[in-house]
Structure 1
């Protein structure tokens, strides 16, 4: 787990820019405080910040490797972990004569690429973003893991292409690249609707993200040529009657194997633990490999908004040592500018804040944590996935009747029982399901965003994804959409950026190729029923997780934002953010203030929309106005834990 940065030049010698690359990589020092490094040849300058997890004394980066006839042919910078690196090294040595100078996973990537070319990425079981330079072909190969666990930004200008784990490092190189710094208005509108900036966009028009499951090739002076190598298919394999238990054992075995491989490290590994089934399952399986496992959870100073008690009960049930961090509203608000700086682009998910504090607490004890992200997308865990069951009758209606139901819903007063059911039932899945989050609708957004464009809507993002899933069952289509939207736009962004802000490596065993291979074959009735979600996963985990968690509803780390924005905890803070923000050309601040006052007075619940705007205002204050300057300290963590 590290931070990488590179600049492939097009009209200058890389030795003239390597110092600038080294300086720009310093703002990612939190990603790798153990060891910085740079390297260059004529065309490429690389910078790196290492967080030492495997083969601590060696495996330095930028890493050089090559075959016997040219042992320094390749240069690699790599962020992430390859969990099957031992098996890959054995295969490459036995069948292809590869030799290795370290005990780490980086050399396995380079040797695999040398032997199998682009197909090597399909053999990597792990989380990764890497840049691999071939000094013979003078060609750069970029790659990102299938689910987008690790980030990779890039920007191309007259002087070359820069790429990095974090956007802020590329911003430091804009002058070197000859790139202009301006905001992307379409990305802003997408953010306002979805609560995150969808891939491949970023709020800086000149910076884009290499999408999850993609690779890119480029040479000096060329633009990146992007290729997708991972496309989920959800090839449903019905469960023959009487063989359900074998399917559950298959799920449990895949997950247990994934956790075992995710425990590979030369440092201490802990686990996050909320009150839900996903993190509890990971922690319980991790205990089989480390009986001294430490688990971590967080809660808030408000009754009803804490998973602390359930998490503590779960930790006791599995025999883990447990650490709790409680967050109050003052430190919640004070942390926002720092968190937004680490994020690079705004993400309007208040769960970022408790994650930040529990990660900070965990880093005092461990260097790696496991977590339960991805279980909902793979196994059908979100409550919204049950909606097709309740709307099934509408699917049988002729189009005219469905449209009539929609018109009828418009005449029913707000708050009347059945209005929402009629409205949503009249819509197709493509129209009603944006993914697992939505903040503003068009009417609300038109009142707040000064340059609202109706043509810049959610279908920019969702339509291409829906086209790939035609003919699938509706729950599989929703899962597929969330894999490419909510998961990689929100869940994995906060998982990476917020733990890395604390120099902590987060690993997600559910998002493993072998676990996905089992999960994608589940039929609808093994994912969603009228009474529960993640049906097959719950059955598979019976006997692994404590009984009090097995059928518990999903909560995660709930945040009392709605209450705090109405009271003295956050109302005055929020109003001051609106007053101070220099975003009048982008937002109708008077309309935002009215939203805040309506929320305070209980006329409407605008908490999600207000948070979306407030986070953007803080982002704008940091990255555009330069008015807000978070105090980012030098990491002081020990190398080993």
Structure 2
């Protein structure tokens, strides 16, 4: 584990000492828990730099790694889980692999297969490969986008990095992409490939790129999520899913590093912990929660751990430390993320790092096996498919004039609106008319459909649930779930491993008929059947909570003063009508509606703006001594 940056110049120039110093400064912006072990490579076109993680297992991984008598140079970030299989396929008398390093194995593989090698990898990774003899830079990102890979391309050069701040620090100030901001207010995250910073983008998941000096970079897909439902006996599905999960967990536990697992009250994390225990009986599990009824799964996690026979280490988060951690968390994120669950994961990772170097987590199960309640919506709206188009138009007009909150209004609106016009992912914050009311750079021609439309076009023939899964895999999963997981664990130099997000697991899940996902009036129906006898029954029958955070209550009480002050002090007047946001906060406090998630979305952007644009927090504060944010809390009784 580590981080890297790279530069490809369009015109030949050997970097002088001043240019090398600037390049080395890029590496220093990587997350501070990485060690001081650094490696650099320079020639007339390329500069590569790598900083190794403190828990790296291989001394040989002080990269950049060279291969073929220095004809090729690599920087690699992540893990490959099928190295043994690949080693047997590529190792010959002429191609020996001296160490167990993933990067060295990839070097041999790339020599043989070139860019086709990426499709053979089973793992989580971002990589740059500089072919010095051919003067070509190759790069790739893992199929699901677990690891990020950023770039900025100009007329002079292309800059790449595993963290955005390694690129953006070179600009005099953070130039905001107003298109990204408008989409952020819809999704609560910046949808890829955009970032909140103008001209900095992300390489798409499942893609590799080719960059030659003097030519534009091109991206190419090597893996794509697709759904091909297959009819088979239910017991056959249960066996195939269970076998794929066992194999996925097993290959991710093939390490000498101490491994733990996150444990909530849900199926996803519990099945991971249960399988992991079979390979490592003394595995430790980690849970977090809050001292507020309905917002903690610690008690359930403790009960689950006891029945599984594993240790559980739990931590309860207070409102004060929650908000104090926010600036530091936003620093690690690189881009604003308004999912309140990122903070609990930050604390869970902090506690886990005291005991282990690697953590298993349950991300991806919902997207692969149909775990979100909204996936059941097409079935509940099925009757509208029998209603004539003219009648549906009339019902849509009726719904439009019904007062907000009237029973049946939402049902009519959803039933008379095509899926592609109403579903943008698991979370939807501001509607277009709301954004227009307070976003000063609002563009009417820039609907969220600009993001989701091309995705729907690719899966228009799929069943509705598969369309929703596809949208979430390409938006919510990468923009929220994986950004959160990767960055919060990296903040503590804790390695993330997500067994559900495995190509082999997906291959099985992609063949499931829709009824096995949301059948029997529930979600993840087949995964529940897979879990029976493996995890405690009390987990199977519980309502999904995830990482619930009581911001709805806190914004009325403990965090009200903090939120109001952040809005007032934020230098975002040129971007947002702050009076609109203040009025929304007051309406929330007066119980005129639950606007907590919308308020939080704006607050997180303002906090990001304070850190990266206004520079109100110095780097030392954010990376070494914690965040000393201005926090104003009040008791619930005040």
Partner of 1:110: 107
Partner of 1:171: 168
Measure, in 1, the Cα distance between the counterparts of 2:31 and 2:185. Answer: 30
Is contact 1:295-1:321 (8 Å) kept?
yes
Moved more, 337-346 or 546-555: 546-555
Report 1:57-136 matches (<5 A). 57-66=59-68, 71-94=69-92, 97-136=94-133
Partner of 1:625: 614
The alpha carbon displacement at 1:55 in A equals 4.0
Partner of 1:148: 145
Report 1:360-371 matches (<5 A). 360-371=350-361
What do the CA deviations read for 1:96-134 (whole angstroms, capped 9, x no partner)?
842112211111212111111221111100001100111
Is contact 1:31-1:49 (8 Å) kept?
no
Cα distance change on mapping 1:59 and 1:529 into 2, 3 Å: same
The alpha carbon displacement at 1:53 in A equals 5.2
Moved more, 45-54 or 286-295: 45-54
Cα distance change on mapping 1:473 and 1:151 into 2, 3 Å: same
Partner of 2:4: 4
Measure, in 2, the Cα distance between the counterparts of 1:199 and 1:232. Answer: 16
Report 1:198-209 matches (<5 A). 198-209=191-202
Measure, in 1, the Cα distance between the counterparts of 2:238 and 2:399. Answer: 42
Partner of 2:294: 304
Which of the residues 587, 594, 597 maps onto 2:586?
Answer: 597
What do the CA deviations read for 1:443-463 (whole angstroms, capped 9, x no partner)?
221222112112111111000
The alpha carbon displacement at 1:354 in A equals 0.6
Corresponding pairs, count = 623
Unpaired runs of 5+ residues, structure 1, are 637-641
Measure, in 1, the Cα distance between the counterparts of 2:541 and 2:210. Answer: 46
SS of the counterpart of 1:58? helix
Measure, in 1, the Cα distance between the counterparts of 2:24 and 2:483. Answer: 24
The alpha carbon displacement at 1:173 in A equals 3.1
Is contact 1:55-1:102 (8 Å) kept?
no
Measure, in 1, the Cα distance between the counterparts of 2:14 and 2:597. Answer: 46
Is contact 2:246-2:275 (8 Å) kept?
yes
Which of the residues 221, 224, 230 maps onto 1:231?
Answer: 224
Partner of 2:573: 584
The alpha carbon displacement at 1:627 in A equals 2.3
Q: Is the aligned partner of 1:320 residue 2:322?
A: no
Which of the residues 238, 242, 262 maps onto 2:252?
Answer: 262
Q: Is the aligned partner of 1:449 residue 2:447?
A: no
Q: Is the aligned partner of 1:35 residue 2:37?
A: yes
Partner of 1:639: none
Is contact 1:181-1:206 (8 Å) kept?
no
Measure, in 2, the Cα distance between the counterparts of 1:289 and 1:54. Answer: 22
Report 1:388-427 matches (<5 A). 388-427=378-417
Measure, in 2, the Cα distance between the counterparts of 1:108 and 1:265. Answer: 16
Is contact 1:5-1:165 (8 Å) kept?
yes
Partner of 1:272: 262
Measure, in 1, the Cα distance between the counterparts of 2:345 and 2:230. Answer: 37
Is contact 1:270-1:369 (8 Å) kept?
yes
Partner of 1:615: 604
Unpaired runs of 5+ residues, structure 2, are 627-638
SS of the counterpart of 2:59? coil
Report 1:181-580 matches (<5 A). 181-239=174-232, 243-567=233-557, 569-580=558-569
Measure, in 2, the Cα distance between the counterparts of 1:264 and 1:155. Answer: 36
Partner of 2:635: none
Measure, in 2, the Cα distance between the counterparts of 1:34 and 1:468. Answer: 45
Measure, in 2, the Cα distance between the counterparts of 1:9 and 1:312. Answer: 55
Moved more, 7-16 or 448-457: 7-16
The alpha carbon displacement at 1:80 in A equals 0.8
Is contact 1:31-1:50 (8 Å) kept?
no
Moved more, 3-12 or 479-488: 3-12
Give the TM-score of the pair, scaled to structure 1: 0.95
Measure, in 2, the Cα distance between the counterparts of 1:3 and 1:273. Answer: 28
Which of the residues 27, 33, 56 maps onto 2:58?
Answer: 56
Give the TM-score of the pair, scaled to structure 2: 0.95
Cα distance change on mapping 1:101 and 1:18 into 2, 3 Å: farther
Is contact 1:55-1:103 (8 Å) kept?
no
SS of the counterpart of 1:452? coil
Measure, in 1, the Cα distance between the counterparts of 2:386 and 2:110. Answer: 51
The alpha carbon displacement at 1:21 in A equals 1.9
RMSD over aligned Cα atoms: 1.6
The alpha carbon displacement at 1:205 in A equals 1.2
